[in-house]
């Protein structure tokens, strides 16, 4: 019989906070630690958590770090969901945000089935999005520069 481990990742540019929720309603949710945000560290994490009778399910919030971690986890053969931050259920009184708490909350909500995964674009879609965002930013910079020159004259 296979058991599930639900892993919540709080991803930042330099680090990833990791929390693991064991299967079952009363399963323990523990903070696993903080690892560097590198492909090698993610690969080592998966190999440490992997076991013959354990199914791993990772999740993390969509953000500025892109979808590289998602692609790497899928390539390593584990399930990974990317969650939109705007649709994560939050308690009204829960105002203190730390990496540890966020990772544990993601693991707990993933285990309970309260998270909805978003569509993850492939590398071609992501490149087009980056191109469109870059063009939009260049046009905004052009307008701002024109206004500065006109106000100077």
Distance CA 108, CA 114 (A): 9
- Residue 27 phi/psi, 5° resolution? -65, 150
Q: Are residues 54 and 24 in the same domain?
A: yes
- Give the sign of the dihedral formed by CA 137, CA 138, CA 143, CA 147: positive
- Could you give the number of structural domains in the chain? 2
For the chain, give the number of residues.
Answer: 153
Q: What is the pLDDT of residue 55?
A: 93
Other C-beta atoms within 10 Å of 93: how many? 6
Each residue's pLDDT tens digit, 26-78: 778 999 999 999 999 999 999 999 999 999 999 999 988 888 999 999 999 99
Q: Are residues 126 and 109 in the same domain?
A: no
Q: Are residues 89 and 129 in the same domain?
A: no
Which residue segment(s) compose the domain that 49 sits in? 3-120
Each residue's pLDDT tens digit, 91-146: 777 777 889 999 999 999 999 999 989 999 888 998 898 999 999 999 999 999 99
Q: What is the pLDDT of residue 2?
A: 76
Cα 101–Cα 25–Cα 3 angle in degrees, nearest 5: 100
Q: Are residues 48 and 15 in the same domain?
A: yes
Cα 137–Cα 138–Cα 140 angle in degrees, nearest 5: 65
Q: Are residues 128 and 113 in the same domain?
A: no
In contact, 88 and 61? CB cutoff 8 Å: yes
Q: What is the pLDDT of residue 1?
A: 65
Q: Are residues 135 and 94 in the same domain?
A: no
Q: Are residues 115 and 126 in the same domain?
A: no
């Amino acid at each position: 019989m296979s058991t599930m481990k639900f892993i919540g990742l709080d991803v930042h540019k330099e680090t990833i906070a990791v929390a693991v929720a064991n299967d079952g309603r009363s399963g323990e949710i523990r903070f696993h630690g903080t690892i560097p945000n590198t492909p090698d560290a993610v690969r080592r994490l998966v190999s440490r958590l992997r076991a013959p009778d354990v199914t791993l399910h990772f999740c993390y919030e969509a953000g500025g770090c892109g979808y590289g971690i998602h692609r790497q986890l899928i390539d390593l053969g584990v399930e990974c969901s990317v969650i939109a931050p705007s649709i994560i259920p939050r308690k009204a009184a829960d105002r203190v945000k730390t990496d540890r708490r966020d990772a544990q909350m993601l693991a707990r909500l993933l285990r309970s089935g309260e998270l909805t995964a978003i569509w993850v674009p492939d590398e071609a879609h992501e490149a087009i999005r980056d191109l469109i965002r870059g063009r939009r930013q260049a046009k905004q910079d052009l307008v701002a520069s024109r206004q500065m020159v006109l106000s100077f004259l």
